[in-house]
Amino acid sequence: MDIVKVISLKKKYVSGKIEVNAINGIDLNIKKGEFLAITGPSGSGKSTLLNIVGGNEFPTEGVVEINKKILSSMNDEELTIFRRRNIGFVFQRFNLIPYLNIYQNIVLPLELDHADIDSEFVKELIDELGLDDQIFKMPDELSGGQQQRAAIARALVTRPAIILADEPTGSLDSENSEKVISLLGNMARKYNQTIGMVTHNVDIAHRADRMIRIEDGKISDERQGGYKDER
């Protein structure tokens, strides 16, 4: 089943007389439980694509459908609620709230939505991500790899339809990058979680189920990846 459908997507930026076609006609489906890597050179449109799929930007043309809901059919309030319940974000810079401890950061999306906290599931996530002895620490007391794992737990806690990760290993060293990619892949399989990840690292992209390459705002290549669960 397709969780994400992108149809005839275009995004144009205009500055004075200069026009830039960041996305220039993309069709893309992402299946439930799939780990998709999006690669391409800087400025190719891969992060723009992720932002539009995540509802952070609106396309100039085309349709984005997530979990059978068309994003452009919603008003601002509806879209905010839908994103909070259906889309988990993992960023390069972690974006943890500095004055909340790790546990509070992880459950924050549930509290913002006034949703019940499934303590058993939260504990399972924390244990799975190796954060059980870190939950009462503040973000600045953790390593970069630990902070990124906390960000992954926060993205998963609402059991969203899709997790969108924008260069999630960009601020990490090679050892922590490997751990984070393994965790993302293992989370996708354990929870049948759908993941769309932007990365400039082709070696990391090969770990996903499928890779697409974006060039000049279009999909220039698509191939199956070679992810293996290495736990």
Residues 3, 147: Cα–Cα separation, whole Å = 28
- The tens digit of pLDDT for each residue in 89-134 reads 998 788 899 999 999 999 999 999 899 999 999 999 899 888 999 9
Strand 61-66 to 2-15 pairing: antiparallel
Query: Which candidate, 29, 13, 31, 30, places its Cα nearest to that of 21?
Result: 13
CA distances 230 to 100, 162, 181, 184, 205, Å, are 33, 23, 11, 12, 16
Residues 12, 58: Cα–Cα separation, whole Å = 10
pLDDT of residue 212: 94
pLDDT of residue 229: 39
In a domain, residue 68? The reply is yes
In a domain, residue 229? The reply is no
In a domain, residue 118? The reply is yes
- The tens digit of pLDDT for each residue in 47-70 reads 999 999 999 999 999 999 999 999
pLDDT of residue 165: 93
Structural domain count of the chain: 1
Question: Please, which pLDDT band fits residue 203 given cuts at 50, 70 and 90?
Answer: confident
Examine the pLDDT at 230 and tell me if it is beyond 50: no
The pair of structure tokens assigned to 150 is 């906390």
215 in helix, strand or coil? Answer: strand
Burial 202-223 (b: 16+ CB within 10 A, else e): eebbebbbbbbbbeebebeeee
Residues 40, 197: Cα–Cα separation, whole Å = 12
In a domain, residue 231? The reply is no
CATH code, domain with 35: 3.40.50.300
Residues spanned by the domain of 179: 2-224
In a domain, residue 17? The reply is yes
